[in-house]
């Protein structure tokens, strides 16, 4: 069990790193002429194709009709209303605003887990979430000190809706996720989402096909589809199968850490004591939440009753 938990934490950490690069890479592609709706469609359609190919080499599983029905709604929350809506929101607002908004996911997940799963909101868990949020906000603002940051209220609202959707997915579908392997789950969830978004994005995709993009833009799109979607979602499911929803969501705080490291490496930022403290707060916050007790543990200890 301990080895499984370690692998889950490592998988979520790597996924957080990959998602940390999504905002700047995706924004660069959109500034080159790729619309938010087109990029979201390519992510879903491309990932659906990759998951179907990968499923050919995975153990074969039969999904019952009820679970196929549930996977449709899981796909809507996890992918269409999270991945798709966030990409559209990112096209309307700044990468800074969108990254700030992602820090709301652990708070939302903690509250929804308490509402739907009866997971206790302990002082330890609250402390960890707050430490992580403070660290993430410090990093985001220190990375952009002195810059003109232009956001958009509608883009910000759309990005926030995406975080609510993902928090609901983490909370409501943990049981379903535990019944099938990663590739079975993802191929159906992405297929449903790809069909839904293709219906509304056909014109955008047609316009995009008529344009000539540079190799760099196609590499940026390739990163978004392969690493930021296909690989990252595999890793998130590995973590979700072993860990509680709030712990999974805490890895959203890795994203601003990655943005800081990238900025320092390419010479667009420096690493001072504020960023060191902020990074430490994030990792301490994640550790503290992992040490909080689950509902099952508290039931065994008699600290809560059914």
Q: In sequence order, what DSSP letters do the residues of 16-82 get, joined into one string?
A: HHHHHTHHHHHHHHHHTT--HHHHHHHHHHHHHHHHHHHHTTSPP-PPPHHHHHHHHHHHIIIIIII
> How far is it, in rounded angstroms, from Cα 126 to Cα 121?
7
The Cα-based distances of 38 to 30, 43, 58, 221 in angstroms read 9, 9, 30, 10
Q: Which structure tokens are listed for 265?
A: 């490496």
Q: Return per-residue pLDDT of the chain as tens, 306 residues.
A: 678 888 998 999 999 889 888 877 887 888 888 888 888 899 999 999 999 999 999 888 999 999 999 999 999 999 998 887 877 787 777 666 676 777 778 888 888 888 887 888 788 888 888 888 887 777 767 665 554 445 577 877 888 888 889 889 988 998 888 889 999 999 999 999 999 999 888 888 888 877 888 999 999 999 999 999 999 999 999 998 888 888 888 888 787 777 677 766 766 556 677 777 877 887 787 778 777 766 676 666 556 555
Please name the residue that has the structure tokens 């590995």.
Answer: 238
- What is the DSSP secondary-structure string of 91-123? HHS-HHHHHHHHTTHHHHHHHHHHHHS-----H
| pTM summary value | 0.80
pLDDT reported for residue 302: 58
Identify the three-state secondary structure at position 302: coil
pLDDT for 297 equals 62
Contact 139, 202 (CB under 8 A): no
Taking the C-alpha atoms of residue 108 and residue 247, their distance in angstroms, rounded to an integer, is 12
What is the pLDDT, as a whole number, of residue 150? 52
Enumerate residues 6+ apart whose C-beta is below 8 A from 100: 136, 137, 140
Cβ atoms within 10 Å, residue 214: 10
User: Measured between alpha carbons, how far is residue 97 from residues 29, 93, 243, 267, 294 in Å?
Assistant: 18, 7, 28, 22, 32
CA distance 86 to 280: 27
List Cα–Cα distances, 253 to 54, 135, 178, 238, in angstroms.
Answer: 29, 8, 25, 18
C-alpha span between 229 and 47 (Å, rounded): 7
Structure tokens at 64: 């019952």
Tell me the longest C-alpha to C-alpha distance in the chain: 65
Rounded Cα distance, 23 and 284, in Å: 24
Half-sphere exposure of 176 (CA within 13 A, CB side): 24
Contacts of 254 (CB under 8 A, 6+ apart): 13, 16, 17, 19, 20, 282
Count the neighbouring beta carbons within 10 Å of the beta carbon of residue 206: 10
Residue 253, both tokens: 């705080």
What is the pLDDT, as a whole number, of residue 200?
A: 87
């Amino acid at each position: 069990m301990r080895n499984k938990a370690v692998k889950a934490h490592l998988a979520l950490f790597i996924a957080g790193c990959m998602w940390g690069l999504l905002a700047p890479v995706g924004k660069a592609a959109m500034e080159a002429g790729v619309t938010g709706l087109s990029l979201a469609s390519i992510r879903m359609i491309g990932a659906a194709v990759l998951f179907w190919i990968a499923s050919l080499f995975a153990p074969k599983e039969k999904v019952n009709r009820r679970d196929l029905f549930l996977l449709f709604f899981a796909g809507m929350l996890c992918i269409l209303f999270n991945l798709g809506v966030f990409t559209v929101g990112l096209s309307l607002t700044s990468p800074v605003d969108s990254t700030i908004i992602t820090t709301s996911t652990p708070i939302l997940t903690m509250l929804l887990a308490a509402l739907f799963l009866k997971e206790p909101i302990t002082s330890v868990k609250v402390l960890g979430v707050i430490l992580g949020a403070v660290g993430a906000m410090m990093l985001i603002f220190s990375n952009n000190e002195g810059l003109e940051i232009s956001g958009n209220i509608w883009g910000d609202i759309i990005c926030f809706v995406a975080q609510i959707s993902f928090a609901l997915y983490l909370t409501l579908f943990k049981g379903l996720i535990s019944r099938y392997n990663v590739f079975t789950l993802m191929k159906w969830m992405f297929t449903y989402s790809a069909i839904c978004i293709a219906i509304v994005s056909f014109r955008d995709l047609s316009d995009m096909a008529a344009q000539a993009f540079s190799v760099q833009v196609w590499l940026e799109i390739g990163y978004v589809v392969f690493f930021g979607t296909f690989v990252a979602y595999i890793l998130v499911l590995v973590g979700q199968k072993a860990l509680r929803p709030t712990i999974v969501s805490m890895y959203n705080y890795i994203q601003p850490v990655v943005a800081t490291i990238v900025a320092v490496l390419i010479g667009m930022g420096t690493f001072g004591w504020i960023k060191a403290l902020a990074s430490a707060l994030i990792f301490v916050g994640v550790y503290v939440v992992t040490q909080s007790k689950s509902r099952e543990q508290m039931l065994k200890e008699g600290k809560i009753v059914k």
